[in-house]
């Protein structure tokens, strides 16, 4: 049983790491979680220095994730971390996650879940074997209006879903930044650290997860055109994919990191028999709903007419903008509330359980591997194999 805050250990996310700070802010927003220990870099000196910057106790400021997991497992139950948050590049996800589960610790892990589909399946099997929780931080599923969209589709407001269009254009890799000292660009364009895909692994997985999450459907076939636009880049930086879903619906997915001038313009449209919806990540508090035989509507975050799932994830009154950090925090809060129920032997609500897990991680890796295989082939349609 948890007494006090839920204790988090962090792997990666030290000095000069963007996503580590995002995870810590998100975990801290609701006051449910405290950072108790860390192994904040693969370099022991950087790890220790990063831990001191965050005022970690020296005894729990570790030089490696192996040292942290083994040392924390030896501590009394009322002192050791409850879960570990893994915020490393893709190639360094699987081993610490597996080791944490084997030592009895729950896991939060950045997406994509692993470097390969095979690793993702092993991790999912370990989660099922241990009964421990694994949360995958697909940030955009944490937005209240995304949850509102999902519930409206689930309730059949639009009838049978027929078409899903999702796009995620960025422009930050329009130049060969990986050769100019940009560390974020360097590992994301390195097959040894990022995996088989670049753009499609980094942001295409977000688009695919959002398409399945809102529509409630699963991708069954795809036809991919993946491109390396910047000269001498080792992984795709742009792509277009035709999709087919398990109810017969079709769709389009575009992801690009060479769309000069774009920031994070994630945009999804879902169409059914009776109407459709659209949501823009850069204007996240609005959900546009369109009807076949009635005027269109604008649903807004913070309003009383929203579903329980949307309300559960709204933090401020209507008109006060909530964004990326709050969406990230919603994932951490739902995970923390579910974990607290797990520790106390109580049942979490459906709203608490609404966060991505190992199954979504496996589907994300399958998306990457199938998209790459399709992009390298002259075959028109590829079955979505897991």
Question: Phi then psi for 133, rounded to 5 degrees?
Answer: -95, 140
Q: Tens digit of pLDDT for each residue in 8-49? A: 999 999 998 889 999 999 999 999 999 999 999 999 999 999
Quote the pLDDT of residue 16: 84
Residue 237, token pair as written in the block: 């930086």
Q: Which residues of 182-211 are buried (b: 16+ CB within 10 A; e: fewer)?
A: bebbbbbbbeeebbbbbbbbbbbbbbbbbb
287 Cβ partners below 8 Å, 6+ apart? 145, 148, 149, 277, 278, 279, 298, 299, 300
Quote the pLDDT of residue 309: 98
Q: Tens digit of pLDDT for each residue in 51-99? A: 999 999 999 999 999 999 999 999 999 999 999 999 999 999 999 999 9
Q: Domains of the chain by range and CATH?
A: 6-140+330-355 (3.40.50.720), 142-321+363-383 (3.30.360.10)
Confidence band, pLDDT 50/70/90 cuts, at residue 1 = very low
Q: Tens digit of pLDDT for each residue in 331-340? A: 999 999 999 9
Confidence band, pLDDT 50/70/90 cuts, at residue 216 = very high
Mean pLDDT throughout 148-158?
98
Question: Phi then psi for 333, rounded to 5 degrees?
Answer: -65, -45
For residue 126, count other CB atoms closer than 10 A to its CB: 18
Handedness of CA 118, 123, 124, 130 (dihedral sign): positive
């Amino acid at each position: 049983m948890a007494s006090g805050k839920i204790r988090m250990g962090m792997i990666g996310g030290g000095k000069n790491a963007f996503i580590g700070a995002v995870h810590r802010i998100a975990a801290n927003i609701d006051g449910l979680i405290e950072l108790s220990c860390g192994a904040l870099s693969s370099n022991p000196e950087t790890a220790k220095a990063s831990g001191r910057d965050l005022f970690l106790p020296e005894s729990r400021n570790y030089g490696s994730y192996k040292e942290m997991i083994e040392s924390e497992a030896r501590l009394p139950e009322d002192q050791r971390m409850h879960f570990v948050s893994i915020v490393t590049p893709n190639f360094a996800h699987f081993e610490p996650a597996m080791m944490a589960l084997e030592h009895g610790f729950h896991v939060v892990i950045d997406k994509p879940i692993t470097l390969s589909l095979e690793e993702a399946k092993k991790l999912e099997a370990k989660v099922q074997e241990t009964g421990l929780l694994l949360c995958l931080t697909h940030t955009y599923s944490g937005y209240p209006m995304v949850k509102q969209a999902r519930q409206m589709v689930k309730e059949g407001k639009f009838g049978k879903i027929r078409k899903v269009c999702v796009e995620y254009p960025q422009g930050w890799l329009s130049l060969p930044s990986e050769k100019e000292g940009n560390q974020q660009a360097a590992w994301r364009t390195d097959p040894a650290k990022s995996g088989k895909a670049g753009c499609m692994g980094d942001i295409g997985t977000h688009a695919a997860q959002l398409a399945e999450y809102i529509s409630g459907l699963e991708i069954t076939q795809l036809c991919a055109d993946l491109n390396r636009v910047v000269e001498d880049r080792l992984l795709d930086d742009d792509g277009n994919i035709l999709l087919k879903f398990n109810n017969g619906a079709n769709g389009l997915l575009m992801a690009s990191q060479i769309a000069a001038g774009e920031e994070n313009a994630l945009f999804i449209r879902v169409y059914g028999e009776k109407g459709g919806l659209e949501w823009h990540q850069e204007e996240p508090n609005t959900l546009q709903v369109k009807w076949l035989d009635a005027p269109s509507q604008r649903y807004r975050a913070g309003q009383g007419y929203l579903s329980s799932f949307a309300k559960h994830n709204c933090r401020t009154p209507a008109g006060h903008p909530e964004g990326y950090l709050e969406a990230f925090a919603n994932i951490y809060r739902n995970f923390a509330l579910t974990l607290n129920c797990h520790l106390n032997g109580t049942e979490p609500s459906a709203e608490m359980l609404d966060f991505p897990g190992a199954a979504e991680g496996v589907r994300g890796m399958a998306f990457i591997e199938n998209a790459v295989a399709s992009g390298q082939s002259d075959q028109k349609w590829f079955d979505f194999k897991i």
